[in-house]
Structure 1
Protein backbone atom coordinates (compact mmCIF):
# COMPACT_ATOMS: atom_id res chain seq x y z
CA UNK A 1 0.00 0.00 0.00
CA UNK A 2 2.82 2.37 0.92
CA UNK A 3 4.77 1.58 -2.27
CA UNK A 4 1.68 2.04 -4.45
CA UNK A 5 0.94 5.41 -2.87
CA UNK A 6 4.54 6.54 -3.36
CA UNK A 7 4.40 5.49 -7.03
CA UNK A 8 1.29 7.65 -7.60
CA UNK A 9 3.01 10.54 -5.79
CA UNK A 10 6.04 10.23 -8.04
CA UNK A 11 3.92 10.21 -11.18
CA UNK A 12 2.15 13.39 -10.01
CA UNK A 13 5.49 15.05 -9.33
CA UNK A 14 6.79 14.14 -12.79
CA UNK A 15 3.70 15.69 -14.44
CA UNK A 16 3.94 18.88 -12.37
CA UNK A 17 7.68 19.06 -12.96
CA UNK A 18 7.18 18.78 -16.73
CA UNK A 19 4.51 21.51 -16.74
CA UNK A 20 6.76 23.82 -14.74
CA UNK A 21 9.77 23.30 -17.03
CA UNK A 22 7.59 23.92 -20.09
CA UNK A 23 6.26 27.16 -18.60
CA UNK A 24 9.79 28.33 -17.78
CA UNK A 25 10.79 27.51 -21.34
CA UNK A 26 7.83 29.55 -22.62
CA UNK A 27 9.07 32.45 -20.52
CA UNK A 28 12.56 31.90 -21.96
CA UNK A 29 11.34 31.99 -25.57
CA UNK A 30 9.01 34.93 -25.13
CA UNK A 31 8.85 37.20 -22.14
CA UNK A 32 5.87 35.93 -20.15
CA UNK A 33 5.76 36.90 -16.49
CA UNK A 34 2.50 35.08 -15.88
CA UNK A 35 3.99 31.80 -17.09
CA UNK A 36 7.06 32.47 -14.95
CA UNK A 37 5.03 32.98 -11.78
CA UNK A 38 2.87 29.90 -12.39
CA UNK A 39 5.99 27.83 -13.08
CA UNK A 40 7.57 29.00 -9.81
CA UNK A 41 4.51 28.05 -7.75
CA UNK A 42 4.23 24.66 -9.46
CA UNK A 43 7.90 24.03 -8.67
CA UNK A 44 7.20 25.01 -5.07
CA UNK A 45 4.43 22.40 -4.96
CA UNK A 46 6.81 19.80 -6.42
CA UNK A 47 9.37 20.70 -3.75
CA UNK A 48 6.70 20.28 -1.08
CA UNK A 49 5.73 16.85 -2.44
CA UNK A 50 9.37 15.79 -2.66
CA UNK A 51 9.94 16.89 0.93
CA UNK A 52 6.85 15.00 2.09
CA UNK A 53 8.09 11.88 0.29
CA UNK A 54 11.52 12.19 1.93
CA UNK A 55 9.92 12.48 5.37
CA UNK A 56 7.57 9.54 4.75
CA UNK A 57 10.41 7.43 3.37
CA UNK A 58 12.62 8.20 6.37
CA UNK A 59 9.73 7.38 8.72
CA UNK A 60 9.06 4.10 6.89
CA UNK A 61 12.70 2.97 6.69
CA UNK A 62 14.00 4.54 9.87
CA UNK A 63 17.06 6.07 8.15
CA UNK A 64 18.20 8.88 5.86
CA UNK A 65 17.54 7.82 2.23
CA UNK A 66 20.90 7.95 0.44
CA UNK A 67 22.20 4.38 0.59
CA UNK A 68 21.21 3.20 -2.91
CA UNK A 69 21.42 4.84 -6.32
CA UNK A 70 17.58 4.88 -6.30
CA UNK A 71 17.62 6.95 -3.12
CA UNK A 72 20.69 8.97 -4.10
CA UNK A 73 19.10 10.15 -7.36
CA UNK A 74 16.04 11.36 -5.48
CA UNK A 75 18.04 13.25 -2.87
CA UNK A 76 20.20 14.77 -5.64
CA UNK A 77 17.06 16.01 -7.44
CA UNK A 78 15.71 17.43 -4.16
CA UNK A 79 18.98 19.29 -3.52
CA UNK A 80 18.92 20.82 -7.03
CA UNK A 81 15.28 21.89 -6.71
CA UNK A 82 15.82 23.39 -3.25
CA UNK A 83 18.88 25.32 -4.42
CA UNK A 84 17.12 26.60 -7.55
CA UNK A 85 14.17 27.95 -5.56
CA UNK A 86 16.51 29.71 -3.11
CA UNK A 87 18.56 31.21 -5.94
CA UNK A 88 15.40 32.35 -7.69
CA UNK A 89 14.23 34.16 -4.57
CA UNK A 90 17.60 35.71 -3.72
CA UNK A 91 18.95 36.57 -7.18
CA UNK A 92 15.86 36.56 -9.43
CA UNK A 93 17.74 34.59 -12.12
CA UNK A 94 14.86 32.82 -13.84
CA UNK A 95 16.94 31.10 -16.50
CA UNK A 96 19.11 29.51 -13.84
CA UNK A 97 15.97 27.90 -12.45
CA UNK A 98 15.02 26.66 -15.93
CA UNK A 99 18.34 24.96 -16.68
CA UNK A 100 18.73 23.61 -13.14
CA UNK A 101 15.32 22.00 -13.25
CA UNK A 102 15.85 20.50 -16.69
CA UNK A 103 18.58 18.45 -15.00
CA UNK A 104 16.36 17.85 -11.96
CA UNK A 105 13.48 16.69 -14.16
CA UNK A 106 15.71 14.22 -16.01
CA UNK A 107 17.00 12.82 -12.72
CA UNK A 108 13.48 12.50 -11.31
CA UNK A 109 12.34 10.71 -14.49
CA UNK A 110 15.19 8.20 -14.25
CA UNK A 111 14.46 7.74 -10.55
CA UNK A 112 10.72 7.19 -11.10
CA UNK A 113 10.80 4.81 -14.04
CA UNK A 114 13.96 2.84 -13.30
CA UNK A 115 13.31 -0.58 -11.72
CA UNK A 116 13.86 -0.72 -7.97
CA UNK A 117 16.59 -3.20 -7.14
CA UNK A 118 15.49 -5.04 -4.04
CA UNK A 119 18.82 -6.81 -3.56
CA UNK A 120 20.67 -3.49 -3.45
CA UNK A 121 18.27 -2.15 -0.82
CA UNK A 122 18.55 -5.33 1.23
CA UNK A 123 22.33 -5.03 1.16
CA UNK A 124 22.10 -1.37 2.06
CA UNK A 125 20.12 -2.17 5.20
CA UNK A 126 23.04 -4.33 6.41
CA UNK A 127 25.53 -1.55 5.81
CA UNK A 128 23.81 1.28 7.63
CA UNK A 129 26.13 3.44 9.70
CA UNK A 130 26.24 7.11 10.57
CA UNK A 131 29.66 7.42 8.94
CA UNK A 132 28.36 6.07 5.65
CA UNK A 133 25.27 8.29 5.73
CA UNK A 134 27.35 11.42 6.27
CA UNK A 135 29.80 10.36 3.53
CA UNK A 136 27.10 9.88 0.89
CA UNK A 137 25.07 12.94 1.93
CA UNK A 138 28.11 15.23 1.69
CA UNK A 139 29.05 13.74 -1.68
CA UNK A 140 25.58 14.41 -3.11
CA UNK A 141 25.58 17.96 -1.71
CA UNK A 142 28.92 18.58 -3.42
CA UNK A 143 27.49 17.19 -6.67
CA UNK A 144 24.58 19.59 -6.30
CA UNK A 145 26.96 22.55 -5.90
CA UNK A 146 29.00 21.43 -8.92
CA UNK A 147 25.83 21.00 -10.99
CA UNK A 148 24.67 24.54 -10.27
CA UNK A 149 28.16 25.81 -11.01
CA UNK A 150 28.03 24.07 -14.40
CA UNK A 151 24.70 25.74 -15.16
CA UNK A 152 26.17 29.18 -14.44
CA UNK A 153 29.12 28.38 -16.72
CA UNK A 154 26.73 27.22 -19.46
CA UNK A 155 24.79 30.48 -19.11
CA UNK A 156 28.10 32.35 -19.28
CA UNK A 157 28.99 30.67 -22.58
CA UNK A 158 25.52 31.37 -23.97
CA UNK A 159 25.68 35.01 -22.88
CA UNK A 160 29.16 35.39 -24.37
CA UNK A 161 27.99 33.99 -27.70
CA UNK A 162 24.97 36.31 -27.84
CA UNK A 163 27.18 39.30 -27.09
CA UNK A 164 29.69 38.29 -29.76
CA UNK A 165 26.86 37.93 -32.29
CA UNK A 166 25.57 41.35 -31.14
CA UNK A 167 22.09 40.07 -30.44
CA UNK A 168 20.93 42.90 -28.23
CA UNK A 169 17.54 41.75 -26.99
CA UNK A 170 15.74 41.32 -23.69
CA UNK A 171 16.76 37.69 -23.42
CA UNK A 172 20.39 38.80 -23.34
CA UNK A 173 19.89 40.92 -20.22
CA UNK A 174 17.85 38.25 -18.45
CA UNK A 175 20.71 35.75 -18.66
CA UNK A 176 22.66 37.79 -16.14
CA UNK A 177 25.92 39.69 -16.12
CA UNK A 178 29.01 37.79 -17.32
CA UNK A 179 30.96 38.75 -14.21
CA UNK A 180 28.17 37.63 -11.90
CA UNK A 181 27.73 34.31 -13.70
CA UNK A 182 31.45 33.55 -13.46
CA UNK A 183 31.58 34.59 -9.81
CA UNK A 184 28.66 32.33 -8.88
CA UNK A 185 30.20 29.35 -10.68
CA UNK A 186 33.46 29.87 -8.77
CA UNK A 187 31.71 30.32 -5.39
CA UNK A 188 29.69 27.14 -5.86
CA UNK A 189 32.80 25.16 -6.78
CA UNK A 190 34.55 26.61 -3.73
CA UNK A 191 31.67 25.18 -1.67
CA UNK A 192 31.67 21.84 -3.46
CA UNK A 193 35.41 21.06 -3.19
CA UNK A 194 35.64 20.95 0.65
CA UNK A 195 32.37 19.00 0.81
CA UNK A 196 33.76 16.44 -1.65
CA UNK A 197 37.10 16.28 0.18
CA UNK A 198 35.44 15.62 3.54
CA UNK A 199 33.16 13.07 1.90
CA UNK A 200 36.14 11.19 0.45
CA UNK A 201 37.95 11.20 3.78
CA UNK A 202 34.90 9.76 5.55
CA UNK A 203 34.38 7.25 2.74
CA UNK A 204 37.96 5.99 2.99
CA UNK A 205 37.67 5.68 6.77
CA UNK A 206 34.45 3.68 6.32
CA UNK A 207 36.11 1.49 3.67
CA UNK A 208 39.01 0.73 5.99
CA UNK A 209 36.62 -0.33 8.74
CA UNK A 210 33.91 -2.14 6.78
CA UNK A 211 35.50 -3.20 3.46
CA UNK A 212 39.22 -3.80 4.06
CA UNK A 213 39.39 -6.28 1.17
CA UNK A 214 38.30 -3.76 -1.47
CA UNK A 215 41.23 -2.49 -3.54
CA UNK A 216 42.43 1.08 -3.06
CA UNK A 217 42.55 1.23 -6.86
CA UNK A 218 38.81 0.67 -7.19
CA UNK A 219 37.32 2.64 -10.11
CA UNK A 220 34.98 4.63 -7.84
CA UNK A 221 37.80 5.70 -5.54
CA UNK A 222 40.08 6.70 -8.42
CA UNK A 223 37.31 8.57 -10.26
CA UNK A 224 36.35 10.47 -7.10
CA UNK A 225 39.91 11.65 -6.54
CA UNK A 226 40.20 12.61 -10.22
CA UNK A 227 37.04 14.68 -9.76
CA UNK A 228 38.49 16.34 -6.65
CA UNK A 229 41.72 17.10 -8.52
CA UNK A 230 39.91 18.63 -11.51
CA UNK A 231 37.75 20.95 -9.40
CA UNK A 232 40.71 21.87 -7.20
CA UNK A 233 42.66 22.69 -10.37
CA UNK A 234 39.72 24.84 -11.48
CA UNK A 235 39.95 26.89 -8.29
CA UNK A 236 43.75 27.04 -8.51
CA UNK A 237 43.86 28.47 -12.05
CA UNK A 238 41.15 30.95 -11.11
CA UNK A 239 42.63 32.18 -7.82
CA UNK A 240 46.37 31.79 -8.40
CA UNK A 241 46.65 32.18 -12.17
CA UNK A 242 43.81 34.64 -12.63
CA UNK A 243 42.21 32.62 -15.42
CA UNK A 244 38.72 33.75 -16.37
CA UNK A 245 36.30 33.95 -19.24
CA UNK A 246 35.38 31.24 -21.71
CA UNK A 247 38.36 29.00 -20.94
CA UNK A 248 37.37 28.76 -17.29
CA UNK A 249 33.75 28.08 -18.25
CA UNK A 250 34.75 25.27 -20.62
CA UNK A 251 36.94 23.68 -17.93
CA UNK A 252 33.94 23.73 -15.61
CA UNK A 253 31.74 22.14 -18.27
CA UNK A 254 34.29 19.37 -18.81
CA UNK A 255 34.51 18.75 -15.07
CA UNK A 256 30.74 18.27 -14.93
CA UNK A 257 30.99 15.46 -17.49
CA UNK A 258 33.32 13.67 -15.07
CA UNK A 259 30.63 14.01 -12.39
CA UNK A 260 28.08 12.28 -14.63
CA UNK A 261 30.52 9.48 -15.45
CA UNK A 262 31.47 9.07 -11.81
CA UNK A 263 27.88 9.11 -10.54
CA UNK A 264 26.28 6.76 -13.05
CA UNK A 265 29.04 4.60 -14.56
CA UNK A 266 31.53 4.57 -11.70
CA UNK A 267 28.97 3.30 -9.18
CA UNK A 268 28.02 0.37 -11.41
CA UNK A 269 31.58 -0.75 -12.16
CA UNK A 270 32.81 -0.28 -8.61
CA UNK A 271 33.21 -2.98 -5.96
CA UNK A 272 33.46 -0.27 -3.30
CA UNK A 273 29.85 0.85 -3.85
CA UNK A 274 28.55 -2.61 -4.66
CA UNK A 275 25.19 -1.91 -2.94
CA UNK A 276 24.85 1.43 -4.72
CA UNK A 277 23.81 0.15 -8.14
Structure 2
Protein backbone atom coordinates (compact mmCIF):
# COMPACT_ATOMS: atom_id res chain seq x y z
CA UNK A 1 0.00 0.00 0.00
CA UNK A 2 2.82 2.40 0.89
CA UNK A 3 4.56 1.52 -2.39
CA UNK A 4 1.40 2.37 -4.37
CA UNK A 5 0.91 5.69 -2.54
CA UNK A 6 4.56 6.64 -3.05
CA UNK A 7 4.41 5.84 -6.74
CA UNK A 8 1.18 7.83 -7.07
CA UNK A 9 2.86 10.93 -5.59
CA UNK A 10 5.84 10.47 -7.93
CA UNK A 11 3.51 10.25 -10.92
CA UNK A 12 1.72 13.44 -9.91
CA UNK A 13 5.08 15.23 -9.56
CA UNK A 14 6.09 13.98 -13.00
CA UNK A 15 2.86 15.30 -14.55
CA UNK A 16 3.43 18.76 -12.99
CA UNK A 17 7.06 18.95 -14.13
CA UNK A 18 6.08 17.66 -17.56
CA UNK A 19 3.39 20.35 -17.90
CA UNK A 20 5.87 23.11 -16.99
CA UNK A 21 8.39 21.68 -19.45
CA UNK A 22 5.83 21.72 -22.27
CA UNK A 23 4.94 25.35 -21.56
CA UNK A 24 8.61 26.32 -21.73
CA UNK A 25 9.09 24.37 -24.96
CA UNK A 26 6.07 26.22 -26.36
CA UNK A 27 7.64 29.57 -25.46
CA UNK A 28 10.87 28.50 -27.16
CA UNK A 29 8.90 27.27 -30.18
CA UNK A 30 7.30 30.70 -30.57
CA UNK A 31 10.23 32.96 -29.75
CA UNK A 32 13.35 30.83 -30.19
CA UNK A 33 14.10 31.38 -26.51
CA UNK A 34 17.12 29.20 -25.80
CA UNK A 35 16.96 29.84 -22.05
CA UNK A 36 13.39 28.49 -21.92
CA UNK A 37 14.51 25.54 -24.05
CA UNK A 38 17.36 24.77 -21.66
CA UNK A 39 15.14 24.86 -18.56
CA UNK A 40 12.51 22.75 -20.34
CA UNK A 41 15.18 20.22 -21.27
CA UNK A 42 16.37 19.85 -17.69
CA UNK A 43 12.83 19.56 -16.32
CA UNK A 44 12.10 16.90 -18.91
CA UNK A 45 15.34 15.16 -17.94
CA UNK A 46 14.14 15.06 -14.32
CA UNK A 47 10.86 13.52 -15.49
CA UNK A 48 12.82 10.95 -17.49
CA UNK A 49 14.99 10.06 -14.47
CA UNK A 50 11.91 9.63 -12.26
CA UNK A 51 10.22 7.54 -14.94
CA UNK A 52 13.31 5.35 -15.33
CA UNK A 53 13.61 4.81 -11.58
CA UNK A 54 9.95 3.84 -11.38
CA UNK A 55 10.38 1.54 -14.38
CA UNK A 56 13.18 -0.39 -12.67
CA UNK A 57 11.31 -0.49 -9.34
CA UNK A 58 8.23 -1.85 -11.10
CA UNK A 59 10.33 -4.44 -12.94
CA UNK A 60 11.94 -5.46 -9.65
CA UNK A 61 8.55 -5.80 -7.96
CA UNK A 62 6.89 -7.78 -10.77
CA UNK A 63 9.96 -9.66 -11.98
CA UNK A 64 9.26 -8.93 -15.65
CA UNK A 65 9.40 -6.23 -18.29
CA UNK A 66 6.27 -4.03 -17.90
CA UNK A 67 4.49 -4.27 -21.25
CA UNK A 68 1.95 -7.05 -20.73
CA UNK A 69 -1.04 -4.87 -19.84
CA UNK A 70 -2.50 -1.67 -21.29
CA UNK A 71 -1.55 0.20 -18.11
CA UNK A 72 2.05 -0.96 -18.35
CA UNK A 73 2.19 -0.32 -22.09
CA UNK A 74 1.04 3.28 -21.65
CA UNK A 75 3.82 3.94 -19.18
CA UNK A 76 6.51 2.40 -21.36
CA UNK A 77 5.15 4.29 -24.39
CA UNK A 78 5.40 7.59 -22.49
CA UNK A 79 8.95 6.71 -21.42
CA UNK A 80 9.94 6.00 -25.03
CA UNK A 81 8.47 9.32 -26.24
CA UNK A 82 10.32 11.32 -23.57
CA UNK A 83 13.56 9.49 -24.36
CA UNK A 84 13.21 10.23 -28.07
CA UNK A 85 12.33 13.90 -27.46
CA UNK A 86 15.41 14.34 -25.24
CA UNK A 87 17.63 12.84 -27.94
CA UNK A 88 16.02 14.99 -30.66
CA UNK A 89 16.33 18.12 -28.52
CA UNK A 90 19.99 17.49 -27.72
CA UNK A 91 21.25 16.30 -31.10
CA UNK A 92 18.98 17.62 -33.85
CA UNK A 93 17.52 20.88 -32.42
CA UNK A 94 14.14 20.21 -34.09
CA UNK A 95 11.98 22.29 -31.76
CA UNK A 96 8.73 21.77 -33.68
CA UNK A 97 9.13 17.99 -33.45
CA UNK A 98 10.15 18.10 -29.78
CA UNK A 99 7.12 20.19 -28.78
CA UNK A 100 4.52 17.95 -30.41
CA UNK A 101 6.27 14.75 -29.34
CA UNK A 102 6.04 15.96 -25.76
CA UNK A 103 2.36 16.88 -26.16
CA UNK A 104 1.63 13.26 -27.09
CA UNK A 105 3.84 12.03 -24.25
CA UNK A 106 2.06 14.31 -21.78
CA UNK A 107 -1.36 13.00 -22.81
CA UNK A 108 -0.13 9.43 -22.33
CA UNK A 109 1.30 10.33 -18.91
CA UNK A 110 -1.99 11.91 -17.81
CA UNK A 111 -3.96 8.85 -18.90
CA UNK A 112 -1.51 6.56 -17.12
CA UNK A 113 -1.39 8.60 -13.91
CA UNK A 114 -5.10 9.25 -13.44
CA UNK A 115 -6.65 6.15 -15.00
CA UNK A 116 -8.42 4.32 -12.14
CA UNK A 117 -7.28 0.91 -13.43
CA UNK A 118 -3.96 1.33 -11.67
CA UNK A 119 -5.47 2.01 -8.26
CA UNK A 120 -6.23 -0.84 -5.91
CA UNK A 121 -8.70 0.91 -3.61
CA UNK A 122 -11.86 2.83 -4.50
CA UNK A 123 -10.90 5.54 -2.00
CA UNK A 124 -7.54 6.15 -3.70
CA UNK A 125 -9.20 6.16 -7.14
CA UNK A 126 -11.75 8.74 -6.01
CA UNK A 127 -8.99 10.90 -4.52
CA UNK A 128 -7.00 10.84 -7.76
CA UNK A 129 -10.04 11.75 -9.84
CA UNK A 130 -10.76 14.66 -7.47
CA UNK A 131 -7.15 15.84 -7.77
CA UNK A 132 -7.41 15.61 -11.55
CA UNK A 133 -10.49 17.84 -11.50
CA UNK A 134 -8.80 20.32 -9.15
CA UNK A 135 -5.73 20.60 -11.40
CA UNK A 136 -7.97 20.99 -14.48
CA UNK A 137 -9.92 23.87 -12.93
CA UNK A 138 -6.79 25.54 -11.55
CA UNK A 139 -5.03 25.43 -14.93
CA UNK A 140 -8.14 26.80 -16.69
CA UNK A 141 -8.41 29.73 -14.29
CA UNK A 142 -4.69 30.48 -14.62
CA UNK A 143 -5.08 30.60 -18.41
CA UNK A 144 -8.10 32.90 -18.05
CA UNK A 145 -6.01 35.15 -15.82
CA UNK A 146 -3.29 35.36 -18.46
CA UNK A 147 -5.87 36.13 -21.16
CA UNK A 148 -7.46 38.81 -18.96
CA UNK A 149 -4.16 40.63 -18.47
CA UNK A 150 -3.44 40.26 -22.17
CA UNK A 151 -6.80 41.89 -22.93
CA UNK A 152 -5.98 44.79 -20.60
CA UNK A 153 -2.73 45.44 -22.44
CA UNK A 154 -4.57 45.29 -25.79
CA UNK A 155 -7.22 47.70 -24.50
CA UNK A 156 -4.48 50.09 -23.36
CA UNK A 157 -2.87 49.68 -26.77
CA UNK A 158 -6.11 50.68 -28.52
CA UNK A 159 -6.56 53.66 -26.18
CA UNK A 160 -2.96 54.77 -26.71
CA UNK A 161 -3.35 54.30 -30.47
CA UNK A 162 -6.47 56.47 -30.52
CA UNK A 163 -4.91 59.23 -28.42
CA UNK A 164 -1.89 59.33 -30.71
CA UNK A 165 -4.12 59.50 -33.78
CA UNK A 166 -6.03 62.40 -32.24
CA UNK A 167 -2.70 64.00 -31.22
CA UNK A 168 -3.84 64.42 -27.65
CA UNK A 169 -0.50 64.79 -25.91
CA UNK A 170 -0.63 64.68 -22.12
CA UNK A 171 1.08 63.12 -19.11
CA UNK A 172 -1.61 60.44 -19.10
CA UNK A 173 -0.59 59.42 -22.62
CA UNK A 174 2.98 58.68 -21.59
CA UNK A 175 1.87 56.77 -18.48
CA UNK A 176 0.01 54.26 -20.65
CA UNK A 177 3.30 52.90 -21.97
CA UNK A 178 4.57 52.75 -25.53
CA UNK A 179 2.70 50.75 -28.16
CA UNK A 180 5.51 48.27 -28.76
CA UNK A 181 5.73 47.33 -25.08
CA UNK A 182 1.95 46.97 -24.71
CA UNK A 183 1.76 44.72 -27.79
CA UNK A 184 4.69 42.60 -26.59
CA UNK A 185 3.22 42.09 -23.12
CA UNK A 186 -0.12 41.13 -24.63
CA UNK A 187 1.56 38.57 -26.86
CA UNK A 188 3.69 37.09 -24.03
CA UNK A 189 0.63 36.56 -21.82
CA UNK A 190 -1.23 34.82 -24.63
CA UNK A 191 1.83 32.67 -25.31
CA UNK A 192 1.64 31.59 -21.65
CA UNK A 193 -2.14 31.21 -21.60
CA UNK A 194 -2.47 28.96 -24.67
CA UNK A 195 -0.38 25.99 -23.45
CA UNK A 196 -1.89 26.29 -19.95
CA UNK A 197 -5.40 26.18 -21.47
CA UNK A 198 -4.39 23.25 -23.69
CA UNK A 199 -3.16 21.27 -20.68
CA UNK A 200 -6.33 22.15 -18.77
CA UNK A 201 -8.45 20.94 -21.69
CA UNK A 202 -6.55 17.64 -21.86
CA UNK A 203 -7.01 17.09 -18.12
CA UNK A 204 -10.69 18.07 -18.34
CA UNK A 205 -11.35 15.59 -21.14
CA UNK A 206 -9.58 12.91 -19.13
CA UNK A 207 -11.83 13.71 -16.16
CA UNK A 208 -14.87 13.46 -18.41
CA UNK A 209 -13.82 10.00 -19.62
CA UNK A 210 -13.26 8.76 -16.06
CA UNK A 211 -16.10 10.48 -14.20
CA UNK A 212 -18.72 11.61 -16.73
CA UNK A 213 -18.73 9.13 -19.65
CA UNK A 214 -22.42 9.86 -20.23
CA UNK A 215 -21.71 13.52 -21.11
CA UNK A 216 -21.64 14.12 -24.86
CA UNK A 217 -18.39 15.03 -26.58
CA UNK A 218 -20.45 17.81 -28.18
CA UNK A 219 -21.31 19.37 -24.84
CA UNK A 220 -21.41 23.15 -25.19
CA UNK A 221 -18.60 23.63 -22.63
CA UNK A 222 -16.26 21.31 -24.51
CA UNK A 223 -17.04 22.95 -27.85
CA UNK A 224 -16.57 26.52 -26.61
CA UNK A 225 -13.33 25.58 -24.83
CA UNK A 226 -11.96 24.13 -28.06
CA UNK A 227 -13.10 27.25 -29.94
CA UNK A 228 -11.41 29.45 -27.33
CA UNK A 229 -8.17 27.51 -27.71
CA UNK A 230 -8.42 27.77 -31.51
CA UNK A 231 -8.99 31.54 -31.42
CA UNK A 232 -6.01 32.26 -29.17
CA UNK A 233 -3.88 29.83 -31.14
CA UNK A 234 -4.86 31.79 -34.26
CA UNK A 235 -3.73 34.96 -32.49
CA UNK A 236 -0.29 33.41 -31.93
CA UNK A 237 -0.16 32.10 -35.49
CA UNK A 238 -0.97 35.51 -36.96
CA UNK A 239 1.57 37.19 -34.69
CA UNK A 240 4.45 34.72 -35.18
CA UNK A 241 3.97 33.29 -38.68
CA UNK A 242 2.11 36.08 -40.46
CA UNK A 243 3.87 38.82 -38.48
CA UNK A 244 0.63 40.71 -37.90
CA UNK A 245 1.08 43.71 -35.64
CA UNK A 246 -0.76 46.78 -34.45
CA UNK A 247 -4.42 47.59 -34.17
CA UNK A 248 -5.87 44.52 -36.00
CA UNK A 249 -4.08 42.18 -33.58
CA UNK A 250 -5.26 44.19 -30.56
CA UNK A 251 -8.86 44.09 -31.84
CA UNK A 252 -8.65 40.32 -32.36
CA UNK A 253 -7.33 39.87 -28.83
CA UNK A 254 -10.14 41.99 -27.42
CA UNK A 255 -12.73 39.96 -29.32
CA UNK A 256 -11.12 36.74 -28.08
CA UNK A 257 -11.51 37.91 -24.50
CA UNK A 258 -15.27 38.18 -25.03
CA UNK A 259 -15.22 34.43 -25.70
CA UNK A 260 -13.39 33.94 -22.39
CA UNK A 261 -16.17 35.79 -20.56
CA UNK A 262 -18.89 33.89 -22.38
CA UNK A 263 -17.16 30.57 -21.74
CA UNK A 264 -16.67 31.27 -18.04
CA UNK A 265 -19.89 33.02 -17.02
CA UNK A 266 -22.56 31.92 -19.49
CA UNK A 267 -21.73 28.59 -21.13
CA UNK A 268 -21.16 26.70 -17.86
CA UNK A 269 -24.80 27.26 -16.90
CA UNK A 270 -25.95 25.30 -19.94
CA UNK A 271 -23.37 22.53 -19.71
CA UNK A 272 -23.58 19.03 -18.24
CA UNK A 273 -19.79 19.03 -17.93
CA UNK A 274 -19.40 21.74 -15.27
CA UNK A 275 -22.61 20.89 -13.44
CA UNK A 276 -21.41 22.51 -10.17
CA UNK A 277 -21.57 25.97 -11.83
CA UNK A 278 -25.24 25.68 -12.64
Residue 260 of structure 2 corresponds to 259
Residue 232 of structure 1 corresponds to 233
* 1:65-76 → structure 2 map (5 Å cutoff): none
Which protein has the larger Cα radius of gyration, Structure 1 or Structure 2? 2
Moved more, 223-232 or 266-275: 266-275
Separation in 2, partners of 1:149, 1:127: 33
SS where residue 181 of structure 1 aligns? Answer: helix
Residue 272 of structure 1 corresponds to 273
Name structure 2 gaps, 5 residues minimum: 1-125
- Give per-residue Cα distances to partners, 1:192-249, cap 9 Å, x unaligned: 0000000000000010000001000000000000000000000000000000000000
Number of residues paired by the alignment?
Answer: 153
TM superposition outliers: structure 1 runs of 4+ over 3 Å: 125-128
Q: Find out whether 1:144 has 2:156 as its counterpart.
A: no
State TM-score, norm by structure 2. Answer: 0.54
- Give per-residue Cα distances to partners, 1:136-176, cap 9 Å, x unaligned: 00000000000000000000000000000001110000000
Name structure 1 gaps, 5 residues minimum: 1-124
Residue 153 of structure 1 corresponds to 154
Please state how far the C-alpha of 1:183 moved relative to its aligned partner.
Answer: 0.1
- Residues 129 and 211 of structure 2 are in contact (CA less than 8 Å); yes or no, is this contact kept in structure 1? no
Separation in 2, partners of 1:176, 1:169: 12
SS where residue 275 of structure 1 aligns? Answer: helix
Residue 162 of structure 1 corresponds to 163
Residue 191 of structure 1 corresponds to 192
Please state how far the C-alpha of 1:275 moved relative to its aligned partner.
Answer: 1.5
Separation in 1, partners of 2:202, 2:127: 22
What is the Cα-based RMSD across aligned positions, in Å? 1.6
Separation in 2, partners of 1:276, 1:165: 45
Separation in 2, partners of 1:275, 1:170: 47
Separation in 2, partners of 1:126, 1:197: 23
Residue 247 of structure 2 corresponds to 246
Residue 43 of structure 2 corresponds to none
- Give per-residue Cα distances to partners, 1:45-89, cap 9 Å, x unaligned: xxxxxxxxxxxxxxxxxxxxxxxxxxxxxxxxxxxxxxxxxxxxx
State TM-score, norm by structure 1. Answer: 0.54
Please state how far the C-alpha of 1:276 moved relative to its aligned partner.
Answer: 2.2
Residue 208 of structure 1 corresponds to 209
- Residues 140 and 200 of structure 2 are in contact (CA less than 8 Å); yes or no, is this contact kept in structure 1? yes
